[in-house]
Amino acid sequence: MLPATMPINVGNTAFMLLCASLVMLMTPGLAFFYGGLVERKNVLAIMMQSFISLAWTTVLWFAFGYSMCFGPSWHGIIGDPTYYAFLHGITLQTMYTGNDAGIPLVVHVAYQMMFAIITPALITGAFTNRVTFKAYFLFLTGWLVLVYFPFVHMVWSPDGLFAKWGVLDYAGGIVVHNTAGFAALASVLYVGRRQTVTHKPHNVPLIALGTGLLWFGWYGFNAGSELRVDAITASSFLNTDVAASFAAITWLLIEWANARQPKFIGLLTGSVAGLATITPAAGYVSLSTAAIIGISAGVICYYAVALKNRLGLDDALDVWGVHGVGGLVGTVLLGVFASKAWNPNGADGLLLGGGAFFVKQCVAVLASGVWAFVFTWGMLWLINRVTPVKVDAAAEQQGLDAELHGEAAYLDA
């Protein structure tokens, strides 16, 4: 049976629609952020990869994605893809019954869809400038079905394997950032390095605009994950800003000490690292803990990117170091600092005697990273049997905007 009818809470419904809009805005924000970081000749190609996710993921979500994520469970791993197929049976009176917030089911469908849209788009920053559009389109489809949808079900569906075990992930440290980050690592290793590796962004103001939109949208990403308006909503909102700010300043100071100059891009990147790292914990920890998580994000993600550079891995826009490592660190620190005093529906972490909970968090984040890495590598291998994944050297030299799309971002390009 589909969820039963209950009275609509107008305030919660309006708030969740606003949060869904904020999360939707994050995908164009990501397009600007990535677009500013790449060369002029590849701006449209990387931005289009975000916008195609905005459209195509919606189609898949409508057809079977929501059902695979939140339909009746198959062994706790995946939902029945036919249960909500094409959103059949959902009416204006069908209510979301995951809590007593009184929101229509269509609101939950819309809100969760925005998460599904941005997650695979995060991966594109790793293999920028060297993947064909046809291969990316196939990858986007396969990755959602084989990685994202199963982990949404396992972690966020009440019948999911990890959810029933007691794993917590407030807004996507495991489901979004860790899976995307380790998928990015697999992509980099499979696709290989660019012909010419450059770390010179072509438009820093565009990066700043993208960061601002991401930071703004992240309030909907985290605060909205309470799925209602209450004190936990407010604390997760403030925790988001606190962690991002402490991470940004931490990254800035470390880079300033090493490079002898304060770097604007470092400040921006640090803030995104803080946002990714607080995501799994935002609604389960105190305000002071958010500051600790932000500082940890600034230090650990900075040195993860430095390690990536030292190893010669061509993760062009540091997706693994910022999102993969950030999601991992945030999930583990949630296992350390979680407190039922800040969320009675959460858990007590290691510092409050929750050793078993800490172990569960570590197992879940390890499993998600391994799953995402293995399935991503396998998908790219299969796609390469059908169509080349990597563009040829001539196309890379000319730029993907002209070679793949026949367009230019700037008139003088």
**According to the model, what pLDDT value does residue 5 have?**
61
The dihedrals phi and psi of 295, each to the nearest 5 degrees, come to -60, -45
For 262-307, write each residue's pLDDT tens digit: 999 999 999 999 999 999 999 999 999 999 999 999 999 999 999 9
The dihedrals phi and psi of 314, each to the nearest 5 degrees, come to -95, 60
User: Is 90 exceeded by the pLDDT of residue 1?
Assistant: no
For 106-119, write each residue's pLDDT tens digit: 999 999 999 999 99
For 316-374, write each residue's pLDDT tens digit: 999 999 999 999 999 999 999 999 999 999 999 999 999 999 999 999 999 999 999 99
- Amino acid identity of residue 369, one-letter, is G
The dihedrals phi and psi of 347, each to the nearest 5 degrees, come to -155, 165
Tokens for 165?
Answer: 């075990």
User: Is 50 exceeded by the pLDDT of residue 158?
Assistant: yes
**According to the model, what pLDDT value does residue 194 have?**
85
Would you call 95 helix, strand, or coil by DSSP?
strand
Domain boundaries, given as residue ranges, for the chain = 10-405
In angstroms, the CA 140 to CA 290 distance is 33
Q: What is the mean pLDDT of the chain?
A: 95
Would you call 131 helix, strand, or coil by DSSP?
strand
In angstroms, the CA 321 to CA 192 distance is 17
Concatenating the DSSP letter of every residue in 31-67 gives: HHHHHHHS-GGGHHHHHHHHHHHHHHHHHHIIIIIHH
In angstroms, the CA 22 to CA 291 distance is 24
Q: Are 176 and 279 in contact (CB under 8 A)?
A: yes
43: exposed, middle or buried (Cβ count in 10 Å: 0-12, 13-18, 19+): buried
Bridge partners of 74? 78
| Residue 171 neighbours by CB under 8 Å, 6+ apart | 221, 222, 224, 225, 236, 279, 280, 282, 283
**According to the model, what pLDDT value does residue 240 have?**
98
* pLDDT greater at residue 1 or residue 272: 272
**According to the model, what pLDDT value does residue 37 have?**
95
For 163-175, write each residue's pLDDT tens digit: 999 999 999 999 9
Angle, helices 264-278 vs 204-223, to 10°: value is 20
User: Is 80 exceeded by the pLDDT of residue 198?
Assistant: no
Q: What is the mean pLDDT of residues 154-183?
A: 97
User: Is 70 exceeded by the pLDDT of residue 4?
Assistant: no
**According to the model, what pLDDT value does residue 193 have?**
87
User: Looking at 57-66, 130-139, 389-398, which range is the least confident one?
Assistant: 389-398
**According to the model, what pLDDT value does residue 265 have?**
96
User: Is 70 exceeded by the pLDDT of residue 142?
Assistant: yes
User: Is 60 exceeded by the pLDDT of residue 3?
Assistant: no
Concatenating the DSSP letter of every residue in 356-404 gives: HHHHHHHHHHHHHHHHHHHHHHHHHHHHHHHS-SBPPHHHHHH-HHHHH
In angstroms, the CA 25 to CA 240 distance is 17
Q: pLDDT over 90 for what percent of the chain?
A: 94
**According to the model, what pLDDT value does residue 341 have?**
97
User: Is 90 exceeded by the pLDDT of residue 203?
Assistant: yes
**According to the model, what pLDDT value does residue 199 have?**
73
**Residue in 137, 133, 123, 116 with CA at minimum distance from that of residue 187:** 123
Q: What is the DSSP letter of 104?
A: B
Spell out the alpha helix ranges (H) of 260-354. 264-278, 287-311, 319, 325-337
**According to the model, what pLDDT value does residue 42 have?**
94
Q: What is the mean pLDDT of residues 223-233?
A: 97
In angstroms, the CA 308 to CA 182 distance is 13
| Residue 313 neighbours by CB under 8 Å, 6+ apart | 185, 188, 189, 320
Q: How confident is the model at residue 90 (pLDDT cuts 50, 70, 90)?
A: very high
Q: Which residue has the tokens 């059949």?
A: 88
CATH, domain 10-405, list 1.10.10.60, 1.10.1740.10, 3.40.50.300, 1.10.3430.10:
1.10.3430.10
Concatenating the DSSP letter of every residue in 5-29 gives: P----HHHHHHHHHHHHHHHHHHHH
| Residue 310 neighbours by CB under 8 Å, 6+ apart | none
